[in-house]
Structure 1
Amino acid sequence: MLPLRVHLQYKMSVLHPRSLIGCMVRRIPEGSTERYTRWINEITQDQLISQVYTSHGPTVIMPSWFCSRHWFDRVGSFDEGGKGVPEDLLFFYQSLRQGGGVARVDQCLLVYRYHEKAATHSVLEETIWNLRVDFLQERVLCRWESFTIWNAGKQGRKLYRSLSPANQKKVKAFCDVDENKIRKGFYTYEESKEKPKPKIPVLHYKEASSPFIVCVKLDMTGGVLEENLHALQLREGVDYYHFN
């Protein structure tokens, strides 16, 4: 911990007694998980809530958490299942379910070490995926009558296959920028037991309609994805949510 961490996070927790309070971090060794570290430090206060469904996990990282004992007890403590249990993600989701908020002190107050034997590496990717899909369905998709999956590639199709049958029927289209996928015209859900098998249209993103679940990795397109979303005048947390 760096000087003033407890003081500054305590002050914020007094203002947000039902929130998990985080902070900015410095990663060592220098340059470790560069994209992830940039995300931790640079997402906005609004995105601390809107980006809770991404593969990065909790929008304020567990080593930086600060909250009252009252809130900790209200949420219900940690899952002590041991190796392979993403206890931080489970606690984070439960805090949100209880009506909790998320806030961040916008100062670097923590040195966050990366090492290859960290417990986080023992958690299976599929475990995290299933938790995220369930939380997305519970918090977002249950409120939408229909939606578009932004990405007709591997990740978008995987999300579609992972949805409940009721939410699969809400998918009105996939959209993409890849002309080959768009030219094909549709995605056939071959694993479906329905006859005929569901065929979901694949559109150019400019022809698709909101709301969207965006299955394109953040910070990996040189700003193109973000520019496309901005050009359509879409509002994060209203017209779209990031999932990857």
Structure 2
Amino acid sequence: RQSQGVPEDLLFFYKNLREGGRAFRVDQQLLLYRYHAWAATHLVLEETIWRHRVAFLEERVLAQWTSFTIWNAGKQGRKLFRSLAAANQKKVRALCDVDEKKIKKGFYTYEESKERPKPRIPVQHFNQAIPPFIICVKLDLTGGGLEDNLNSLNLQEGVDYYHFN
């Protein structure tokens, strides 16, 4: 039986940030990973990476906010909500989206919750939602639609929203 892998590069990156390191976007290739069937990276479960990412988000961003909106009422937005600690779930004002079917339904019910009554999170159009946002939509996936919508709200990344995709 193989053991579960550890996302060492992700943990190194987070440790660097915790110790005052900074990250800068560079639009050129700086590192090349070589793919091979025996690479340790194949032992790292997607869920392990997800848990580390959510924990870092909660520590570095959500701990500073009293409330926020999750931008995506679809699968990724709902998964993020379910993955949050109970205290951070209570900070979620709403889920927002552009999909009229999701908005028309009006809410997301967290059916697996042990809470009674089950948490019901409003779902609203993005232009009615209140920042700050955690954005769970991949960039370049919407043909520029997400970017146009963000620009229309005159928000500042790192203040009014963070990407989590």
Q: With the length of structure 2 as denominator, give the TM-score of the two structures.
A: 0.91
* 2:5 equivalent to 1:84: yes
Overall identity of the aligned pairs, in %:
72
Q: 1:136 aligns with which of 47, 57, 61?
A: 57
> 1 or 2, which has the higher strand percentage?
1
Distance in structure 2 (CA, Å) of the matches to 1:115 and 1:184: 44
* 2:35 equivalent to 1:115: yes
Q: 1:187 aligns with which of 108, 123, 140?
A: 108
Q: Which runs of 5+ in 1 are unaligned?
A: 1-81
TM-fit CA distance, 1:113:
5.2
Q: What is the count of residue pairs matched by the alignment?
A: 162
Distance in structure 1 (CA, Å) of the matches to 2:129 and 2:25: 35
* 2:99 equivalent to 1:207: no
Q: 1:96 aligns with which of 1, 11, 17?
A: 17
Q: Which runs of 5+ in 2 are unaligned?
A: none
Amino acid at match of 1:86: P
Distance in structure 1 (CA, Å) of the matches to 2:148 and 2:141: 13
Q: Which structure is larger by alpha-carbon Rg, 1 or 2?
A: 1
TM-fit CA distance, 1:192:
1.5
Q: 1:232 aligns with which of 149, 153, 157?
A: 153
Q: Do 2:70 and 2:95's aligned partners in 1 also have CA atoms closer than 8 Å?
A: yes
Which stretches of structure 1, 4 residues or more, deviate above 2 A after TM superposition? 102-110, 112-122
Q: What SS class does the counterpart of residue 187 from structure 1 fall into?
A: strand
Q: What SS class does the counterpart of residue 101 from structure 1 fall into?
A: coil
Higher relative contact order (CA 8 A, sep 6+): 1
TM-fit CA distance, 1:102:
2.3
